[in-house]
A and B are shown apart, each in its own frame.
Chain A
Amino acid sequence: AQSVTQLGSHVSVSEGALVLLRCNYSSSVPPYLFWYVQYPNQGLQLLLKYTSAATLVKGINGFEAEFKKSETSFHLTKPSAHMSDAAEYFCAVSDTGGFKTIFGAGTRLFVKA
């Protein structure tokens, strides 16, 4: 069975600081991994996804994530936070055979001026 755990329901950073949102997964088969972002009153939008190609995945808005099999992690980073990055971020896992995606509980990112 698949599962995904996001460490920290809330993360607060200063504008210009590094953003690090943590995600650990569990999967019995090679996983597909995703990060989605949700802005207020909107649906989820895909930031990036890992599908067993390069382990470092670059997404939109300057975000990237690194797949580390030994740590079963897929943490999301951005070198310099912008005010516009304030949103809720969801990590999700699927597998190479199926398509039923399991979402994490979400991490709300606050960016301080």
Chain B
Amino acid sequence: DAGVIQSPRHEVTEMGQEVTLRCKPISGHDYLFWYRQTMMRGLELLIYFNNNVPIDDSGMPEDRFSAKMPNASFSTLKIQPSEPRDSAVYFCASSLGLKGTQHFGDGTRLSIL
């Protein structure tokens, strides 16, 4: 079975540019999560969706960050404009139900120069 698929795996761009990260959750899962992982702050939950609806975006660091889930099989995390401090590994995860195990993608390693 296909797991959570994220693209791109690596992204290098200059500060000020728009960055879009993509995620395809496991088919049938009704929850989708976006996380950011850095050495300094560890794993942080940015936002999560239930049935394509954003439930809690309190972890989104600034207005420069936005996330959408237009349908059950696709979500994006956008940073505009990007800054060097946004450099991190961004993970998407999905789960079935409130108490389901979260399945993580392999992440997008983002470097902002």
Contact = CB atoms under 8 A, between A and B. Distances in A.
**A interface bracket (residues with beta carbon within 8 Å of B):** 20 to 34
Interface in B53-90: 56
A14 B2 CA distance: 35
B34 interface: no
Given A43-B91, A43-B93, A32 B42 contact: no
Contacts of B4: 43
A43 B43 contact: no
Contact of A46 (B31, B42, B56, B101): B101
B60 to A, nearest CB: 14
A44 B45 contact: no
Given A43-B106, A90-B43, A106-B43, A100 B101 contact: no
Given A90-B43, A103-B42, A106-B43, A42 B56 contact: no
**B interface bracket (residues with beta carbon within 8 Å of A):** 20 to 34
A106 B42 contact: yes
Nearest to B48: A100
B25 interface: no
Contacts of B105: 43
A45 B98 CA distance: 18
Contacts of A51: 99
Contact of B106 (A42, A90, A99): A42
Contact of B95 (A99, A104, A106): A99
Interface string A83-113: 0000000100010101111011110000000
Complex A-B, nearest 3 residue pairs according to Cβ-Cβ distance, in ascending order? A43-B104, A103-B43, A99-B98
Interface of B: 4, 31, 42-43, 45, 48, 56, 91, 93, 95, 98-107
